[in-house]
Structure 1
């Protein structure tokens, strides 16, 4: 039985674990606040044992400050592990601001505000020759989409007409990871949908699906966003997914936000 070790059982990691278990895999999860089904990240003996036993290892843990906590604590063990497949969930934020241009896996990284993310991405890439790095854009899915923000009164439309983003449904990310296990070579893969567009279009579509009026168009100052939310609008790029399609035989089930939001609804 294949054995997947997932370090970081957040939204995407948990969704992947559910899919793998449904396909007959043994899955071990690691998280900060362990429960009956996961290991505690600080329990080194248990985590090191799991690393040594797993046939597949994936980290979805982002950097903390300037360091990647998984690499700091367990990097040497993962580098030496007998696993036949290793992966890391990175971010398309490593590309920085492209002024709305397309970026692909060969584009420069380490720009702008995501220096720690870009460094972690590079460090994981140097860890093992068989590593797969999945660079992910904004992730949405059931319980975490524009529909939820509209329902909760947290949705905004920002008056930035030239601002463009890419995104991916969580199940398309899971499908990309699985495709790389079965088909693709090691390397870097952008897992994004086929339609980069303004965030306002998602909010307007969500409002239409819910039968609610769209929120007013605001400036960044009027919206009074949190620093993290505001930083989201500091970058502008379109993410190309052609490499994943060519080498993994992957194609998003939800090629645009329209199909993805309807599925969430």
Structure 2
């Protein structure tokens, strides 16, 4: 039986565990929270409490596993300033993927479009060949460092993702705007004019399973390859206007690509996103709940 280690059993990791078991994998999951072990044990064959930066613990847990899927993600509440992001992103991303790269030759890492920064100059679509950027901002720098660790192994696979929505208990986009107002003083740390690429939780799980089943290696952008979404400012202004809230101030600290992102490479392998953009209906004036 194939054996899989999932590093970080949050919403995505938990769903990957269930999908993998349905495909005949034996799954070991990890959490940093002992109180979650009982629940997570219903989703995985074994659950281990560890931190990704503990390379010895990761190596011991990965023994006998055919692959590691790293779904670790920094906590928003711990990343409000560049200084907080420096610590949180380095610990959660770079150190965890260093540990994974030392423990297995097959590693799949869920990365972020933030590695592209604003995408640089030009009008062509952003592809996996587009140079990474924004090397000083921790939210980009440490995704890039984690990617480098992933790609240092023989069968490393990086899935670059946009914002994820739709996970069980996940915040709606309205809730995200509300959090920006309440926790960040009405300020958004990202760029106003970047298209608000987003991907449904189910499509992320499908992408991970697709990468496993098709033995994908290298880097893949994962998003809707057929529609260009509205910008951050268009979406969040529309939400604020609907709720009669003051509009957010965009700080541009976390840069995001300002033009179309191509997912041609993963689409060529047979993968497709299935879920629509949740913000399209709002901007079309339908007033859908977000």
TM range, smaller chain: 0.7 to 0.9
Cross-structure match for 2:131:
108
What CA distance in whole angstroms lies between the structure 1 residues aligned with 2:253 and 2:145? 19
1:122 lines up with 2:148 in the alignment: yes
Cross-structure match for 2:267:
245
| Secondary structure of the structure 2 residue equivalent to 1:29 | strand
1:132 lines up with 2:157 in the alignment: yes
Cross-structure match for 1:20:
20
Distance 1:50 1:199, change over 3 A: same
What CA distance in whole angstroms lies between the structure 2 residues aligned with 1:77 and 1:111? 29
What CA distance in whole angstroms lies between the structure 2 residues aligned with 1:260 and 1:174? 24
Structure 2 unmatched ranges of 5 or more: 42-46, 75-87
Once the two structures are superposed, residues 162-191 of structure 1 have per-residue CA deviations (whole angstroms, 9 ceiling, x without a partner) of 432211111111111111222253111111
Once the two structures are superposed, residues 105-132 of structure 1 have per-residue CA deviations (whole angstroms, 9 ceiling, x without a partner) of 1110143422222122122211x12111
Q: CA deviation at 1:51?
A: 1.1
Aligned to 2:113, which of 89, 92, 106?
A: 92
Structure 1 unmatched ranges of 5 or more: 80-84, 222-226
| Secondary structure of the structure 2 residue equivalent to 1:149 | helix
Cross-structure match for 2:247:
218
Q: TM-score, normalised by structure 2?
A: 0.69
Aligned to 2:50, which of 41, 44, 58?
A: 41
Distance 1:158 1:9, change over 3 A: same
Cross-structure match for 1:146:
172
Distance 1:216 1:135, change over 3 A: same
What CA distance in whole angstroms lies between the structure 1 residues aligned with 2:221 and 2:267? 10
Check conservation: 1:254, 1:260, Cα contact below 8 A.
no
What CA distance in whole angstroms lies between the structure 2 residues aligned with 1:263 and 1:29? 36
What CA distance in whole angstroms lies between the structure 2 residues aligned with 1:133 and 1:264? 32
Check conservation: 2:193, 2:232, Cα contact below 8 A.
no
Cross-structure match for 2:83:
none
Check conservation: 2:117, 2:134, Cα contact below 8 A.
yes
Please show how residues 44-83 of structure 1 align to structure 2 within 5 Å: 47-62=58-73, 64-66=88-90, 68-79=94-105
Report the number of matched residues: 245
Q: CA deviation at 1:70?
A: 2.0
Q: CA deviation at 1:134?
A: 0.6
What CA distance in whole angstroms lies between the structure 2 residues aligned with 1:6 and 1:260? 35
